[in-house]
Structure 1
Amino acid sequence: MIAVVCILILAALFFIISGFLYGGKGSWLIAGFGTSSREERAKYDEKKVCRAMGVFCTICGVMLCLLAYLGSQAEQGQMAEAQLLPFGIVFLVVLLASLAGVARYIRKAGRK
């Protein structure tokens, strides 16, 4: 049960971070963007970059909520723990695909 609560707390943090990013106020949360030079940051549309990362954080939050639900089902004995492996693989594939999509979007549409 502790693991489920920790996963839900992590999901809530992702939803809070996505709120900052959707508002365009969280560019300092994006790795490499906040520490880059002004000239480098001027090449990108900050609002689009923040929105794209907000979408990624929302996807992470939703996937973590799904993982917490499946974990609670396994803890209650309604699902075998071995059945979590395919969901874990799907979780990883969805996160990597969405990360690749966000990176491509930022490279193409995020530039000014």
Structure 2
Amino acid sequence: MIVLICVIAIFLILAILLLCGKGAFLIAGYNTMTKEEKEKYDSKALCKSTGKLILSLVLCMLFILAADIFNLSYLSLTGGIGIPLCIIFYLIHTRGGEKFRK
């Protein structure tokens, strides 16, 4: 339970950083691009979208934490199903980065 609380705290800090439009270097794939390739993308929009994903993952992890605290298995199931659904929605929503091209 303590590990989950630490992971939630780290994810929350990262989400806030990304929602402010900073921290693009933390996004996989974006940080490996050359400077010319990075200029083709709207980094603020990409950061905000990734921050929203991480915030939704924090919500799912909070469901899992609440399930552990209150011993409610359906909350754990909700969080466990929510995490892959959030990631799949994000991948469909971003369409491989095409949405964030300038």
Q: TM-score, normalised by structure 1?
A: 0.76
| Inter-partner Cα distance in structure 1 for 2:86 and 2:75 | 16
| Deviation at residue 88 of structure 1 after TM alignment | 5.2
The equivalent of 1:21 in structure 2 is: 18
The number of equivalent residue pairs is 102
Deviations 1:59-86 (A, max 9, x none): 1111111111112222xxxx4x5x5674
SS at match of 1:61: helix
For 1:91, give the aligned amino acid: G
| Deviation at residue 92 of structure 1 after TM alignment | 3.7
Name stretches of at least 5 consecutive residues in structure 1 with no aligned partner: none
Name stretches of at least 5 consecutive residues in structure 2 with no aligned partner: none
User: Which one has a bigger Cα radius of gyration?
Assistant: 1
Q: 1:51 to 1:43 in 2, by over 3 A?
A: same
| Inter-partner Cα distance in structure 2 for 1:62 and 1:85 | 12
Structure 1 runs, 4 residues or longer, greater than 4 Å off: none
For 1:11, give the aligned amino acid: I
Residue of structure 2 aligned with 1:7, choices 4, 11, 14:
4
The equivalent of 1:107 in structure 2 is: 98
| Inter-partner Cα distance in structure 2 for 1:47 and 1:88 | 28
For 1:111, give the aligned amino acid: R
1:52 aligns with 2:42: no
Residue of structure 2 aligned with 1:97, choices 74, 88, 92:
88
| Deviation at residue 35 of structure 1 after TM alignment | 1.7
The equivalent of 2:35 in structure 1 is: 38
| Inter-partner Cα distance in structure 2 for 1:97 and 1:42 | 26
| Deviation at residue 100 of structure 1 after TM alignment | 1.9
Higher relative contact order (CA 8 A, sep 6+): 1
For 2:101, give the aligned amino acid: R
